[in-house]
Amino acid sequence: MTARHSELLANKESGPDNPYLLLTPGPLSTSPSVRAAMLRDWCTWDDDYNQLVQNIRRRLVSLAAGASEGYTSVLMQGSGTFCVEAVISSAMPKDGKLLVLTNGAYGDRIAKIAAVHGIAAEHMDFPELEPVSPDRLAEKLEQDSAITHVAAVHCETTTGMLNPIEQIAGVVKRFGKVLIIDAMSSFGGIPLDAAALEADFLVSSANKCIQGVPGFGFVIAKTASLEACKGRGRSLSLDLFDQWETMEKHGGKWRFTSPTHTVRAFYQALVELEEEGGVEARYKRYAANQRLLVEGMEELGFACLLPARWQSPIITSFRYPDHPAFRFETFYERLKQAGFVIYPGKISQTETFRIGNIGEVYAEDIKRLLQAVRANIYWR
């Protein structure tokens, strides 16, 4: 057990700092040292702060791309959706056509973004309980040569589905299309090589698997693909090229006021990711959390929504118990009183709830959760 882990456990037991553990897909539970990093004020114009931004940008590219030459990164204020919208509204030329692969709420959100901006787009729908099919994608690209860009969600947290991004990327690149990956809930927690995938744009957020706090997101992109966005922006605040060019020319400066405390916390979170052993080590912890959770919940009579072969280590959906007395709101409140916050379901086909496996969460936490679940099975 690391010193930081020991500190976290002590914090959980002695709070009021953290009265409960967030078992959600983000925002998620962070370490005391990440939260402590926000106690200092920073000036957005100061060189110390801007050098911190540049350091973060370099670290992100190194994390994302094994062969990082030809890749760059840009930070953007707001939630992860702000960054997705920045990419869609900046990357699409007026004569382009976007194909959005959807099997959940976050693919649907990309399609909605395109519609709001008047971008020519088509969404290719797959069932919520099935992964995106690379074979069907290939058929679609064969049939429709007008498609210029393809957007896919890596981990669809609507269900916990992990879409086959390597195969999807292979098809997209075989047809010579621009690839946009929503890696919101997977980047930093699941090994992913943007260069190997030839991804043009990869989007994530500070408050996901890097284990920072909310306030900004980021885009890791092929430099050439980002340069091609010049003059395409459909929004002043979300103009991805302008944001990137300002950071490039002015040594890490943001165009508009940046979330300085969040940025400093994110830097600390990146340091702690490295201390843990990098993305591979974090993935192993998350995967172990998820296996322990599923084994325990199944022993208690709960059924997973997805088969194991499609399940991500990020968040797990469970079906409601088949009992008329079960009420999610009651179950939620009882677990919250026991020190855990879980997530409601989000799919249309069946009633579910979700439990996140990410953040500053360890096996001991999952075991404590399972004890709390066992103690609150009130409907039997």
- Tell me: pLDDT of 90 over 90: yes
Question: What is the phi/psi pair of residue 227, to 5°?
Answer: -60, -30
Closest by CA to 317, choosing from 153, 106, 128, 132, is 128
Closest by CA to 29, choosing from 5, 52, 53, is 5
Top pLDDT among 51 and 11 is at 51
Domain parsing of the chain, residue ranges: 3-34+278-375, 42-273
Beta pairing, strands 315-319 & 352-356:
antiparallel
pLDDT in tens, 180-208: 999 999 999 999 999 999 999 999 999 99
Average pLDDT of span 3-7: 51
At 379 the pLDDT is: 84
At 15 the pLDDT is: 45
At 13 the pLDDT is: 44
At 66 the pLDDT is: 83
Which residue is associated with the tokens 């791309």?
65
At 346 the pLDDT is: 79
Q: Mean pLDDT for the chain? A: 94
Do residues 186 and 26 touch, judged by C-beta distance below 8 A? no
At 7 the pLDDT is: 52
pLDDT in tens, 257-290: 999 999 999 999 999 999 999 999 999 999 999 9
Top pLDDT among 69 and 282 is at 282
Beta pairing, strands 343-344 & 121-125:
unpaired
Q: Distance between CA atoms of 261 and 39, rounded to whole angstroms?
A: 8
Do residues 26 and 208 touch, judged by C-beta distance below 8 A? yes
pLDDT in tens, 340-353: 999 998 777 789 99
When mean pLDDT is compared across 13-17, 105-109, 166-170, the lowest value belongs to 13-17
| 252 half-sphere exposure, CB direction, 13 A CA radius | 18
Q: How many CB atoms lie within 10 A of CB 339?
A: 17
Q: Distance between CA atoms of 322 and 299, rounded to whole angstroms?
A: 15
At 14 the pLDDT is: 38
pTM (whole model) above 0.75: yes
What's the Cα-to-Cα distance from 30 to each of 53, 157, 189, 209, 360, rounded to whole Å? 20, 19, 14, 10, 5
**Which two tokens mark 11?**
């914090």
Domain 42-273: give its CATH code. 3.40.640.10
pLDDT in tens, 312-339: 999 999 999 999 999 999 999 999 999 9
Q: Distance between CA atoms of 245 and 271, rounded to whole angstroms?
A: 26
Q: Distance between CA atoms of 371 and 373, rounded to whole angstroms?
A: 5
At 199 the pLDDT is: 98
Domain 3-34+278-375: give its CATH code. 3.90.1150.10
Band (234; pLDDT cuts 50, 70, 90): very high
- Tell me: pLDDT of 1 over 70: no
Determine the angle formed by the axes of helices 80-91 and 240-249, rounding to 10 degrees: 100
When mean pLDDT is compared across 31-35, 188-192, 306-310, 347-351, the lowest value belongs to 347-351
Do residues 378 and 369 touch, judged by C-beta distance below 8 A? no
Return the bridge partners of 124, or none. Answer: 101
